[in-house]
């Protein structure tokens, strides 16, 4: 039916437009209970889920992260959609699984057609800013009011918002508090605070009271040697430095008197930068610390044991801001868990493994009890990331492999061919050492998980790429190959690479 409207003067139309925009603005800036929360999103770089006191590590000194959990809610079943830095971040900001971001490989930038939750917050009246590691490409920087990318800025922000030519300490966190101090005081705000810690490379003397090799807990899939322990000490020390900056942010929020209605979410972008952790789909690669502090809503010392995924962050932040989720988002709003941790928003999480220094293509489904991994490129070993490859840990592992001194679990990075399927009972086997895919007692579970993976791949249009991307580094020596360039090669360069080096993929 056609709508017929009476004629009106231009002046009347102008007044009506202003009134409508004003009402719309007021509606957007309030949620059901009035004032919208400030949101502070803190993301560590390469931190394992259990490497803090909050998650039971007896030796790492993380008083500020521990205090977040004491004052808020600790999530014990939180997972990332990717085991790699930039694909994880671009998935979070778009609310999409990595294979739908156009940025699924390491260093590939987000394309400008992708919608982020940040621009929706900004359009609704939030002041939005980023400080620290960026790693998502230049196309979406305008979605924030301010971006202080530590990778390109080379400056430290002064409290008044001006840029000073002061080199940071390498943590990526130097501008966190200054950004908070420089914010407009008449708007709710969203901050994306991204650390570089505890990403490699590591250096000496970054904290006054460093951890010791006696503090280290070595997982069973790595050898317990002095070099491995020293490598862990460097990693622990960067967590200490990160923890200090987390405390400074909380202190500044308290100083400004805005802690009560400020939600802090602390997570990591992927797991520990060690062999069989980062770039794998074991829990060491995709399980994340996930702590929410929001005094106005979240009860202190609360714990949630239900599943959440990083793809759930985008719809949740919009909901908390009183905005509708976007049709493109592939996650679920988890805000109900903040007041009712017994609620359940999902039965499983889905995670992806793409090119990261070395080619790979693996998928995983994780329920509260089971983990199912499908290795599509079984002819490729589970080689660690390039920075872990040259670490003291992997150097020892390579030597011990040659001498036949590694256990079966410690040989996981070298196995060729890999099994096409892996199934683990995560309750009985949290380190994922006993593959049950061939166990008759688990065949029903295996078939169910296999079917579930096929369904989610179909629903999200996840399929094998047409070709394999060449490794950037040699898998035996770790030396750089000349034909892989960063960031994404041009179409012409990629076509040449495909013709010269790529292997065609077979259909699933």
Q: Where residue 3 falls among pLDDT bands split at 50, 70, 90? A: very low
| Three-state secondary structure call for residue 127 | strand
Strands (E), 381-500: 421-425
Dihedral of CA atoms 439, 444, 447, 448 in degrees, nearest 10, equals -130
**What confidence score (pLDDT) does residue 7 get?**
35
The average pLDDT across 145-150 equals 93
Q: How do residues 82-93 score in pLDDT, each as one tens digit? A: 999 999 999 999
The average pLDDT across 354-366 equals 97
Phi, psi of 41 (to 5 degrees): -105, 115
Q: How do residues 45-62 score in pLDDT, each as one tens digit? A: 999 999 999 999 999 999
Q: Which residues of 248-278 are buried (b: 16+ CB within 10 A; e: fewer)?
A: ebbebbeeeebbeebbbbbbbbbbbbbbbbb
CA atoms in the 13 A half-sphere facing the CB of 439: 12
Query: CA dist 310 to 3, 72, 142, 273, 449, Å?
Result: 44, 19, 23, 19, 21
Cβ atoms 314, 49 nearer than 8 A? no
Cβ atoms 74, 291 nearer than 8 A? yes
**What confidence score (pLDDT) does residue 150 get?**
85
pLDDT exceeds 50 at position 472: yes
Q: How do residues 415-471 score in pLDDT, each as one tens digit? A: 999 999 999 999 999 999 999 999 999 999 999 999 999 999 999 999 999 889 999
Q: How do residues 363-372 score in pLDDT, each as one tens digit? A: 999 999 999 9
Phi, psi of 43 (to 5 degrees): -125, 120
The two tokens of residue 275 are 């062999």
Q: Where residue 258 falls among pLDDT bands split at 50, 70, 90? A: very high
DSSP string, 30-41: EETTEEPPEEEE
Sign of the four-CA dihedral 298, 86, 368, 432: negative
Strand-strand pairing, 38-44 and 189-194: parallel
The average pLDDT across 393-409 equals 98
C-alpha 276/C-alpha 121 separation (Å) is 37
C-alpha 419/C-alpha 281 separation (Å) is 14
**What confidence score (pLDDT) does residue 502 get?**
54
Share the mean pLDDT of the chain. Answer: 90
Please name each of the domains of the chain with its CATH number. 32-352 (3.40.720.10)
What percentage of the chain exceeds 90 in pLDDT?
83
pLDDT exceeds 70 at position 12: no
């Amino acid at each position: 039916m056609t709508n017929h409207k009476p004629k009106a003067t231009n002046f009347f139309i102008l007044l009506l437009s202003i009134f409508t925009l004003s009402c719309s603005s007021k509606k957007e800036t309030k949620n059901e209970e009035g004032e919208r929360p400030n949101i502070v999103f803190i993301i560590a770089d390469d931190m394992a889920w259990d490497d803090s006191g909050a998650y039971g590590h007896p030796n790492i000194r993380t008083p500020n992260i521990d205090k977040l959990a004491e004052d808020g809610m600790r999530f014990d079943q939180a997972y990332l959609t990717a085991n790699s830095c930039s694909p994880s971040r671009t998935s979070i900001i778009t609310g999409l699984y990595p294979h739908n971001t156009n940025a699924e490989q390491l260093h590939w930038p987000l394309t400008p057609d992708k919608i982020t939750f940040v621009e929706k917050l900004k359009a609704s009246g939030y002041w939005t800013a980023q400080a620290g590691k960026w790693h998502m490409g230049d196309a979406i920087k305008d979605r924030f009011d301010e971006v202080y990318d530590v990778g390109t800025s080379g400056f430290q922000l002064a409290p008044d918002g001006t840029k000073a030519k002061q080199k940071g300490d390498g943590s990526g966190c130097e501008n966190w508090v200054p950004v908070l101090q420089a914010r407009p005081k008449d708007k709710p705000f969203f901050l994306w605070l991204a650390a570089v810690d505890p990403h490699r490379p590591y250096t000496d003397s970054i904290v006054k009271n460093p951890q010791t090799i006696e503090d280290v807990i070595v997982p069973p899939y790595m050898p317990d040697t002095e070099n491995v322990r020293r490598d862990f000490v460097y990693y622990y020390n960067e967590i200490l430095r990160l923890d200090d900056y987390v405390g400074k942010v909380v202190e500044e929020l308290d100083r400004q008197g805005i802690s009560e209605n400020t939600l802090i979410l602390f997570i990591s972008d992927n797991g520990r930068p060690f062999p069989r952790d980062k770039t794998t789909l074991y829990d060491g690669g995709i399980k994340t610390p996930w702590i929410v502090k929001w005094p106005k809503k979240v009860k202190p010392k609360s714990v949630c044991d239900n599943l959440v995924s990083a793809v759930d962050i985008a719809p949740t932040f919009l909901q908390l801001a009183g905005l509708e989720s976007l049709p493109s988002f592939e996650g679920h709003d988890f805000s109900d868990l903040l007041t009712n941790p017994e609620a359940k928003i999902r039965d499983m999480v889905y995670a992806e493994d793409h090119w990261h220094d070395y080619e790979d293509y693996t998928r995983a489904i994780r329920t509260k009890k089971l983990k199912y991994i499908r290795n599509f490129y079984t002819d490729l070993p589970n080689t660690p990331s390039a920075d872990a490859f040259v670490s003291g840990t992997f150097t020892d592992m390579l030597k011990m492999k040659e001498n036949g001194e590694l256990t079966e679990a410690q040989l996981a990075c070298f196995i060729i061919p890999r099994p096409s399927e892996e199934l683990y009972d995560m309750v009985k086997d949290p380190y994922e050492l006993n593959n049950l895919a061939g166990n008759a007692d688990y065949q029903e579970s295996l078939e169910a998980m296999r079917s579930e993976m096929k369904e989610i791949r179909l629903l999200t249009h996840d399929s094998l790429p047409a070709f394999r991307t060449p490794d950037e580094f040699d898998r035996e020596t770790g030396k750089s190959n000349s034909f892989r360039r960063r960031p994404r090669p041009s179409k012409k360069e990629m076509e040449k690479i495909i013709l010269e080096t790529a292997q065609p993929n077979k259909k699933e």
